[in-house]
């Protein structure tokens, strides 16, 4: 952990003064948001997922990070989908494992439309019947509120 923090600190300390000012501190705390620290993010992800130390993330290492099932029990459907997505989309060269370049594409896909990508992702997981339409409850255009009744004594006071 200390080695990782030191490496990230040095990468975030752009002016090399041994201190982190506000933008540098942001980079240290959230390196995924700073292009100059993407290499560190990939390296940390590889270290977290590559359990056998071969420099690649195998499909089973990827799944083990997502799901810890009982031995012999079948994987849930969402994990089977993740396994399939790993092989079809994340593993670009088809060798059954992710190298650093593939991890980089997974973590930071080259898409100018981040909001659109995230919206598609959320719709995919929320759209249970797979018709790509989410039903939004209908609300009346003008809310109808009950009218307040005035007490007789108030009306009588006005007449006075």
% pLDDT > 70, the chain: 78
The pLDDT of residue 101 is: 95
Domain that holds residue 110: 2-159
The pLDDT of residue 123 is: 79
Distance of CA 35 to the CA centre of its chain: 17
Cα–Cα distance measured from residue 83 to residue 10, given in angstroms and rounded to the nearest whole number = 35
Going by their DSSP bridges, the two strands 97-98 and 57-58 should be labelled as antiparallel
If one counts every other C-beta atom within 10 angstroms of the C-beta of residue 145, the result is 6
The pLDDT of residue 124 is: 76
Span 19-28, average pLDDT: 94
Residue 139 pLDDT class (50, 70, 90 cuts): low
Quick check: 102 and 93 in contact, CB under 8 A? yes
Number of domains in the chain: 1
Among candidate residues 5, 21, 1, the one with its CA nearest the CA of residue 13:
21
Span 137-152, average pLDDT: 63
| CATH code of 15's domain | 1.10.238.10
């Amino acid at each position: 952990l200390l080695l990782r923090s030191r490496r990230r600190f040095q990468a975030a300390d752009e002016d090399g003064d041994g201190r982190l000012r506000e933008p540098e501190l942001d980079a240290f705390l959230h390196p995924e948001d700073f292009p100059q620290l993407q290499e560190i993010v990939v390296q940390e992800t590889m270290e977290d997922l590559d359990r056998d130390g071969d420099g690649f993330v195998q499909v089973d290492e990827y799944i083990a990070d997502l799901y810890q099932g009982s031995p012999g029990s079948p994987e849930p459907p969402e994990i089977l989908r993740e396994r399939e997505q790993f092989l079809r989309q994340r593993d670009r060269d088809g060798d059954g494992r992710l190298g650093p370049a593939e991890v980089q594409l997974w973590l930071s896909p080259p898409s100018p439309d981040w909001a659109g990508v995230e919206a598609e992702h959320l719709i995919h997981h929320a759209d249970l019947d797979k018709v790509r339409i989410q039903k939004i409850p209908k609300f009346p255009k003008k809310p109808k509120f009950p009218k307040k009744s005035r007490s007789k004594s108030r009306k009588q006071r006005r007449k006075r």
